[in-house]
Chain A
C-alpha cells in the first residue's frame, strides 16, 4: 500500500460518516420542506372554502409531488446504504408508524390521478388524499419523536416492543409536525393561489404559526429532559453562549413571519417557514449529534464500510447538483398554473 493510500484508509472512516450524515440530513430536510407543504395541502384540503379551491390546491402540487416524495426515498435508501445498522435497528422499531405512513402515502399519491378521472366517486379520492396526507404527516412526526427518544438495542438488533414508539412525547411531535406542515402549505398557497384562496391561506398561516411557536417552546423545554446528555450539551455555560443564537434567531424568525403575514407578503411566509424548520432541525442535530440511534449508537458505529460510502459518494457528488438543477427547472417552468388544465 502506498503512503497516500494508507493515509486515506486512516481518515476515511472518520470523515465519510460525517459527509453522509450531512447528505442524508440535507435529503431529509428537503423532504420535510417539499413533502411538508405537499402533505400539508392534504391536511388543509377538507377545510378549503370551495371545490374550485380544492382543484386549485391539487393542481398546484400535481406536477411536483412525485419529485418531492423521492427525497423521502433517498432518505430511506441512503440510510440503508450509508448507515445500514441504523436502518436495521430503526425500521423494525418503527414498524407500525412506517407501514401506516406508507399506506397514507399510497392513498394520497394515487388520488392525484384518480380524483380527476372520477365524478361520482371523486369525494372518495378527496377523502383518500386528505386522510392519507394526515396519516403520513402524523406518522412522520411520531417517527421523529421516537427517534429522539431512542431505541432499545441488544446485539445490534432492536430489542424493544412494537409499541415503544408510541409515547406522549411522540404523540406531541406528531401534532407538531402536522402544524408545521400546515404552516408550510399555507405559505405555498400564499405564493401560488388566487386572491380569495390566498386570503384564506393567510388566516390559516396565523393559526399554524401560533401552534408551531407553542410547540417549539414545549420541545425546547422537554427534549433536554429525555437524555441527560442533551441537557448537558445545551446548558453547559460555555455551550450556552455558543448555542444561544439558535433560540434567539428562532424567536426572531417567528416574529418576522408574523409581520410578513400582517403585511401580506407573497414569498416571505414560505421562506420564513422554511427557516423555522431549518432552525428546529439544527436544534435537533445539536441535541443528538453524533448519535444516529440515541443514546447508544453513533454515526461511526452505524456507518457502512468506507468502500461502500466512498463508492456512493463518487456518484452523489456530481449527481445531486444535477438533480437540484432539473428540479428547480421543473418548478420554474411549471410555476404558473395554466388557465385550462391542459393535461386532465
Chain B
C-alpha cells in the first residue's frame, strides 16, 4: 500500500470542502440583493406579485443559505486542523481579516436572517425590509473580507517575516487592499450576481414555458435578463483587468492557464491542447497566432513568459488551470450571448414567445456555478506550489496530521456532503416546481392584511 500523503489529501479535502461551500455564497450573495430589490418594489408599488415572488424565493434562499452556513463553519476550522503551519506563521495577517468577517458579516447575516425568514407579519414591514437589507449587506461584507484574505495570500504585501518565520503586519491598509484584491472582489461579486441572474432568468423561463405563474415568470426572466445584459460584458472587462494584474504579480499562473511553455512575443492563443508537464510541451495543440499576446498584454507583439522560465519547483501544473480557464471564459461568452439575444428578442417583443430561447435559458441556468468553480480552480491551482505566494509553500503549510486520518475525514466529508447536497438540490427543485403562492387580486384596503396571511395553510406538499 502506498504511503498516504497528508499534504495531497489535505489539499484534496480543502479543495472539495471549499468548492462545495462556494456554490452557496455564489448564489445567496446575488439572491439576497435581488430579494431586497423585490421587497423595495413591493413597498413602493404595493403590488402583491413582488411579495409573492419574494416569499417564494426566500424559501429557496433559506435552503441555500443554510447549506452555505454549515459548509462555511467547516472551513474556519480546517485552517487549523489541516493547515496549522499556515495558521501559526500567517495567523497575524489572515486571522484578523477572517475575524472581521465573523464580526461584521456572519453575525449580521445570522442576526437578521431569523427576522428575514420568520419575521414577516411579526415585525413592522420597515423592520423586515431592514433585516433583508442587513442580510444582503452581510453577504457582500463577507465576500469583501474573505476575498481580501485570499487575495493577500495570492499577492502578499505590507508584511515582514520575523526570524522565527512568523509573518507580521506592517501596514494594514496595504494588506487589505493588496494589489489583486480590487480585481478579485469585483470579479467574484459580479460572478455571484451573474450566477443568480442566470438561475432566476432560467427558472422564470421555465414557468413561462410551462404556462404556470406566467406573470411571475416574466418578472423573473425580465429582471434576470436586465442584469445579465450589461453585467456579463462588464465581467469580461473586469476579468481582463484581473488577468493583466495576475500577469504582473503571478506570471507563472498566466503561463499555466494559457499553457505557454516558452517565453515569446506574438504568443499564440491556444484554444485546445493537452499540456504535458513532464515533456514540457503541449499535445494536440490548436492555436491562433499572436492572439495570446494581444489578450494578455494588449499588444500584438507583447512578451508572454512561459512556464520554462520558472524553475520546476516553482511551477504550477498547467492541466487544471488551462482547462478550467477555458470553461470559465466559454461560459462568460455564453452569458454575453444570452444577454444580448434575450434583449434583442425583448426589444422585438418576442421574448416571452420564443420557445427555443426560453429552453436555452433553462439549460443555461446552472452555468454560473460551473464558471465560479472553474475560476476558483484557475486561481487556486494556478498559485501552487505556494499557499502564501512566494512566502510559504503549500508543503510547509500543512498540519502534522497523519495521512490516514485525513483520508478518513475526506471520505466522511464526501459522503455527508453528497447526501446533504443531493437532498438540498432536491428540495430546492421541489420548491421551484411548486411555484410561488399567488395572491388573488383583492381590494386595496386589505393590503395590510396580506402580510399576515398564513402562507400555504396546508403546510408543505
Contact = CB atoms under 8 A, between A and B. Distances in A.
Nearest to B127: A333
B80 A70 contact: no
Contacts of B117: 63, 343
B323 interface: no
Contacts of A107: 416, 420
A80 B107 contact: no
A218 B61 CA distance: 47
B347 interface: no
A286 interface: no
B409 interface: yes
Contacts of B416: 103, 106-107
Contact of A70 (B110, B134, B172, B457): B110
Contacts, number: 251
Contact of B91 (A67, A99, A157, A304): A304
Interface string B174-198: 0000000000000000000000000
Interface string B392-414: 00000001111001000100110
A323 B66 contact: no
A18 to B, nearest CB: 17
A317 to B, nearest CB: 10
Given A113-B427, A323-B103, A343-B120, A84 B112 contact: no
Interface in A124-168: 156-159, 162
A109 B110 contact: no
Nearest to A304: B92
Interface string A296-335: 0000000011011001100110011001001100100110
Nearest to B67: A110
Contact of A305 (B88, B92, B431): B92
Contacts of A78: 99, 102
Given A342-B122, A343-B117, A77 B98 contact: yes
A96 B399 CA distance: 13
Contacts of A89: 84
Interface string B103-136: 1101111111111011111110001000000100
Contacts of A95: 81, 399, 401, 405, 409
Interface stretch (A115-123, A189-197, A225-233): A115-123
B457 to A, nearest CB: 7
Contact of B168 (A85, A307, A316): A307
B77, B117, B452, most chain A CB atoms within 10 A: B77
A92 B399 contact: yes
B95 A308 contact: yes
Interface in A12-39: none
B293 interface: no
Interface in B341-397: none
A224 interface: no
A102 B112 contact: no
A342 B454 contact: yes
B70 interface: yes
Nearest to B115: A330
A92 B406 CA distance: 11
Contact of B104 (A63, A305, A319): A319
User: Which one of A311, A323, A343 has the highest number of Cβ atoms from chain B below 10 Å of its Cβ?
Assistant: A343
Nearest to A61: B114
Interface string A59-103: 000111011011011101111111011011111101110110011
Contact of A342 (B74, B423, B455): B455
B95 A84 contact: yes
Given A70-B110, A110-B66, A334-B115, A80 B95 contact: yes
A338 interface: yes
A114 B102 CA distance: 25
A325 to B, nearest CB: 9
Nearest to B107: A323
Contacts of A52: none
B81 A98 contact: yes
B169 interface: yes
A236 interface: no
B169 A308 contact: yes
A340 interface: yes
A263 interface: no
B427 A156 contact: no
Contact of B96 (A103, A109, A312): A312
B71 interface: yes
B279 interface: no
Contact of A110 (B122, B405, B424, B431): B424
A331 B190 CA distance: 34
Contact of B112 (A76, A162, A326): A326
A96 B115 contact: no
B457 A73 contact: no
Contacts of B106: 70, 73-74
A117 B430 contact: yes
Nearest to B72: A73
Contacts of B100: 312, 315
A112 interface: yes
Interface in A259-274: none
B137 to A, nearest CB: 12
A110 B113 CA distance: 15
Most buried by A among B102, B106, B113, B166: B102
B62 interface: yes
Interface in B30-86: 59, 62-63, 66-67, 69-74, 76-77, 79-81, 84-85
B459 interface: yes
A116 B460 contact: yes
Nearest to B123: A333
A99 B168 CA distance: 30
B87 interface: yes
Contact of B169 (A66, A85, A311): A311
B23 interface: no
A102 B400 contact: no
A67 B107 contact: yes
A69 B427 contact: no
B267 interface: no
A330 B118 CA distance: 10
Contacts of B405: 95-96, 162
B84 A157 contact: yes
A118 to B, nearest CB: 7
Contacts of A326: 108, 111-112, 134
A341 B120 CA distance: 11
B19 to A, nearest CB: 16
11 contacts: A76-B80, A77-B99, A81-B98, A84-B88, A88-B91, A92-B84, A102-B77, A103-B412, A162-B402, A333-B123, A343-B455
Q: Top 5 A-B pairs ranked by shortest CB distance?
A: A84-B91, A91-B80, A81-B95, A63-B114, A88-B88
Given A103-B413, A113-B66, A343-B120, 15 more contacts: A66-B110, A66-B113, A73-B102, A76-B80, A80-B91, A92-B80, A106-B420, A107-B420, A157-B85, A159-B400, A304-B91, A311-B169, A311-B172, A326-B112, A338-B121
